[in-house]
Amino acid sequence: MSDAYIVQAIRTAGGRRNGKLATWHPADMAGEVLNALVDRSGIDPAAIDDVILGCVSQVGEQSWHVGRNAVLASKLPDRVPAVTIDRQCGSSQQAVHFAAQAVMSGTQDVVIAAGVESMSRVPIGSPTALAVNAGLGGPWSKRIQDRYGVKEFSQFTGAQLLAERYGFGRERLDEYALSSHQRAAQATHAKAFAAEILPLRIEGGGEHTVDEGIRFDATRESIGAVKLLKEGGVLSAANASQVCDGAAGVLVVNERALKAHGLTPLARIHNLTVTGGDPVIMLEEPIGATRLALKRSGMRIADIDLYEVNEAFACVPLAWLQGVDADPGRMNVNGGAIALGHPLGATGAKLMTTLLNALRARKRRYGLQAMCEGGGLANVTIIEAL
């Protein structure tokens, strides 16, 4: 069985809700990412065997197979197939897994794993809300509700439960949120993201090249002043991930394709793990998934040089650090979703792009990416920078 290699990775800079990327149709935005992967790698667009694209809110402009529509909006020949997948927040990380499995098996040689989400144009929860309002019902049957003793599964409930389980008060969460903005601001000033960001034209002229959600002037006081989501709770919009528009993509190939197309590998995919667990607390699952990934790969957490753990809420990476006894100095070194945004279906490929570039910039070897996902799922990927 062949190894799977990443030969190119790219992302858009995050756009705030109704911000600089809000004028972009998601299919066009994703199409630009596909074009950039082809252009930067130098591969013939006709050599792409498949496009696997993650997207969570598959309705409206993200309906009718947005993965295929991204291909039609790109320079790729229309003979290139595509598929759209949903593993909630891990959708495009799962796209990377599927792409790796395809090229490792030899059934395909060159696959693009990507993701897109325009949360301005297709707000979070739109598929469910529109269906319920149209009288089509919701996603959870009475059997599911009875089994878990809840009427619905909520990430906000899960985050509150997670914070309580690990003893995190609001002050600790806000402190972490501030550090995310500070790290992201420092990385931006140092041009750490320059190589990974695809400039997109913006209405009125110019290009969007800087993550729009970073609060460069954030303080503990300004974060602490944000209203709590629930009285008596610890969560606020300031210590949770930001609504974001964006797209990202990774070009994955096997050894045969490296030789046939003269490509240079940037990283080897070392481990692919996905697990499921408690759908009520849901956001704790990356801990168990990480333990399993390390066991399967014969590694210890100390062997991993950098980690990207998605900041869906501040309590998620903080709990993960405790749960796997990891070094906080190696996690989300350039900031995370609290500052940079969480464009749902695009975040997996986005984090992979940032992790790969951070490893190479620091001349480090192993990186681990962990993602919490709706329904109590988690993806973990370990890569080796080359």
pLDDT of residue 203: 87
Give the residue-averaged pLDDT of 212-237. 96
pLDDT digits (tens, 9 = 90+) for 231-268: 999 999 999 999 999 999 999 999 999 999 999 999 99
Residue 97 predicted with pLDDT over 90? yes
- The DSSP secondary-structure symbol of 18 reads T
3-state secondary structure of 87: strand
* End-to-end C-alpha distance for the chain, whole angstroms: 19
Rounded (10°) CA dihedral 15, 21, 22, 25: -130
Average pLDDT, the chain: 98
Q: Are 118 and 245 in contact (CB under 8 A)?
A: yes
Q: How far is CA 230 from CA 122, 156, 233, in A?
A: 25, 9, 5
Residue 178 predicted with pLDDT over 90? yes
pLDDT over 70, % of the chain: 100
Give the residue-averaged pLDDT of 96-106. 98
pLDDT digits (tens, 9 = 90+) for 129-152: 999 999 999 999 999 999 999 999
pLDDT digits (tens, 9 = 90+) for 329-340: 999 999 999 999
Question: Tokens 């897109």 appear where?
Answer: 116
Rg (CA), the chain: 20
pLDDT-derived band at 286 (thresholds 50, 70, 90) equals very high
Query: CA 180: distance to chain centroid?
Result: 16
pLDDT over 90, % of the chain: 99
pLDDT-derived band at 204 (thresholds 50, 70, 90) equals confident
Residue partners of 293: CB distance under 8 A and separation at least 6: 271, 273, 368, 380, 381, 382
pLDDT of residue 33: 98
- The DSSP secondary-structure symbol of 228 reads B
pLDDT of residue 1: 81
Entry field: residues in the chain:
386
Q: How far apart are CA 179 and CA 164, in angstroms?
A: 21
Q: How far is CA 8 from CA 42, 72, 143, 193, 195, in A?
A: 10, 21, 45, 15, 11
3-state secondary structure of 47: helix
Q: What are phi and psi of 15, to 5 degrees?
A: -115, 135
Report the DSSP beta bridge partners of residue 198. 12
Rounded (10°) CA dihedral 75, 78, 82, 84: 80
Q: How far is CA 288 from CA 38, 324, 332, in A?
A: 36, 9, 19
Q: How far apart are CA 69 and CA 84, in angstroms?
A: 10
Active site residues: 89, 342, 372
pLDDT digits (tens, 9 = 90+) for 291-304: 999 999 999 999 99
pLDDT digits (tens, 9 = 90+) for 340-381: 999 999 999 999 999 999 999 999 999 999 999 999 999 999
Provide the residue type at 81 as one letter.
P
- The DSSP secondary-structure symbol of 78 reads T
Q: Are 379 and 370 in contact (CB under 8 A)?
A: yes
